[in-house]
Amino acid sequence: MKLWGGRFQKAVDNLVNDFNSSIRTDGRMFKEDIDGSLAHVKMLIAQDIIPKQDGEKIISGLTEISKRIENGVIEIDPSSEDIHSFIEATLTYYIGDEGKKLHTGRSRNDQVTLDTRLYLKKELKNLINVILSFEETLLIKAEENIDTIMPGYTHMQKAQPITFAHHLLAYGEMFKRDLGRIKDALKRMDEMPLGSGALATSTYPIDREMVAKELDFASISLNSLDAVSDRDYVIETLSALSMIMMHLSRFSEEVILWCTHEFSFIELDDAYSTGSSIMPQKKNPDVAELVRGKTGRVYGDLITLLTLMKGIPLAYNKDMQEDKEALFDALDTVFLSIKTFNGMLKTMRIKKDNMRKGALGGFTNATDVADYLVKKGVAFRNAHEVVGAIVLHCINKGINIEELSLEALKEFSSYFEEDIYNAISLETCVEERKVIGGPSSKSVKIQLEALKNFIDNNKIV
């Protein structure tokens, strides 16, 4: 049933009907649509805009419809224009003409943005908890690997020794900020738009504050044109989701590298790997590759919205109906990606010996040799020069710096003493970096504590 047959003399072309319809996408907001309508009708009753009896009939009708959709007794009709028309038509079908009073003082333009906000407020709270369980996995894995030394890289070249815990906690920090961005987006979208009407509110004595309170919004929107045509909150959400995927994608790239025969730092659990149909030996990191790949999809969703909105004059235009497909696709992708990645991380085997071996090569202690000389009184720039020459010498001999005898070292600088060997062991290199933010067990424990507090303080129950 159409909501707007009156001024038309002809039915809409079937193709146009299909083209115009958004129900396959917005059908998932049925609960929010009904909750919004319930709040609206309660307000209509309280303000004497519709008779109490009619309003109560609408309330029980909507409540029943909500239950029946949930139980699968009512199926959402895919030929409806959108979820708003479907619910209203179903209501009138169930309770009769009183159902036709529901839309008093309201438009689908303010209704759709209300529903989207309600839906996002719920889903983003779920997402916060999903991010927190991922943080918990990072925390557990980091706690298990405080002493697991691995090479840290810059330019994909071995740089300085760090620990696996330190590396994991870098992601811990990124996801803390990601969660913060979601919270910020939630704060700004917490404005109740209903009452804005199609674009210019209405002449009924509506009580918007009552509706906001009923639906647990922090405030009401202040400009009706803005309220019905704003999709900033969708873009902000997509931007935060893109950032999450970007972080997951970087992590995926590392997981893929670490799994290679060349690195061999980790082994994925069988439950999180896949085989090849032709090469029997293969164990592929498909989960990480798919997360990396799906990142492009979420970026695409963000670009869809930015492009969609850039040329739209005020106020509502039908272009905006396209927002939800991109939004829901991004949400689904992010939920699935974090959850699957979380399981992969939880079950991966860390090859501690190989990580350590990796840190032993590539002169990762060269900075510490220079720092040793500085502490003995050599200027850093001179020390840097001396160690550069030592490294070149070692490359030619195919050995590490600590394999040189004290005598050989003294040829490069008379400041070298027997204590050099202890000063440049992997353990010292890591443990002496006690600065806040560093890889030493002392600094990592501070990071762990901060992450633990963050998780405790941000859980939504």
Closer to ligand ARG by CB, 22 or 145: give it: 22
Q: Which residues contact 142 (CB under 8 A, 6 or more apart)?
A: 164, 165, 168, 169, 172, 444, 447, 448, 451
246 burial level (CB within 10 Å; 0-12, 13-18, 19+)? middle
**Alpha-carbon distance 87 to 391, whole Å?**
74
Please, what is the minimum distance in Å from the beta carbon of residue 154 to ligand ARG?
48
Please, what is the minimum distance in Å from the beta carbon of residue 80 to ligand ARG?
10
Residues 96-155 close enough to bind ligand ARG by CB under 6 A:
108-109, 112
Q: Which of 21, 155, 221, 273 is catalytic?
A: 155
**Nearest to 409, CA basis, from 395, 426, 424, 390:** 390
Please, what is the minimum distance in Å from the beta carbon of residue 136 to ligand ARG?
37
Please, what is the minimum distance in Å from the beta carbon of residue 205 to ligand ARG?
24
Largest CA distance in the chain: 102
Closer to ligand ARG by CB, 107 or 337: give it: 107
**Alpha-carbon distance 42 to 246, whole Å?**
44
**11: DSSP letter:** P
Please, what is the minimum distance in Å from the beta carbon of residue 33 to ligand ARG?
11
Q: Is the dihedral of CA 456, 184, 125, 248 positive or negative?
A: negative
Tokens 């907001």 belong to 29
Closer to ligand ARG by CB, 192 or 383: give it: 192
Residues 60-89 close enough to bind ligand ARG by CB under 6 A:
82
Q: Which of 60, 219, 276, 414 is catalytic?
A: 276
Closer to ligand ARG by CB, 119 or 171: give it: 119
How many residues would you count in the chain? 461
Backbone angles phi, psi at 13, to 5 degrees: -55, 140
Closer to ligand ARG by CB, 85 or 365: give it: 85
Please, what is the minimum distance in Å from the beta carbon of residue 19 to ligand ARG?
12
Q: Are 194 and 211 in contact (CB under 8 A)?
A: yes
Is 103 assigned a catalytic role? Answer: no
Q: Which residues contact 420 (CB under 8 A, 6 or more apart)?
A: 369, 372, 406, 409
In the numeric block, which tokens belong to residue 423? 């000063």
Closer to ligand ARG by CB, 40 or 294: give it: 40
**Alpha-carbon distance 11 to 123, whole Å?**
38
Closer to ligand ARG by CB, 108 or 117: give it: 108
Tokens 């202040």 belong to 222
In the numeric block, which tokens belong to residue 375? 């502490």
Residues 287-346 close enough to bind ligand ARG by CB under 6 A:
316, 318, 320-321
35 makes contact with ligand ARG (CB under 6 A)? no
Please, what is the minimum distance in Å from the beta carbon of residue 193 to ligand ARG?
13
CA distances (Å), origin 317, targets 173, 311, 314, 321, 378 = 40, 11, 8, 8, 71
CA 43 to chain centre: 36
215 makes contact with ligand ARG (CB under 6 A)? no
29 makes contact with ligand ARG (CB under 6 A)? no
How many chain residues interact with ligand ARG (CB under 6 A)?
Answer: 10
Is 85 assigned a catalytic role? Answer: no
Residues that bind ligand ARG (CB under 6 A): 22, 26, 82, 108-109, 112, 316, 318, 320-321
Active site residues: 155, 276
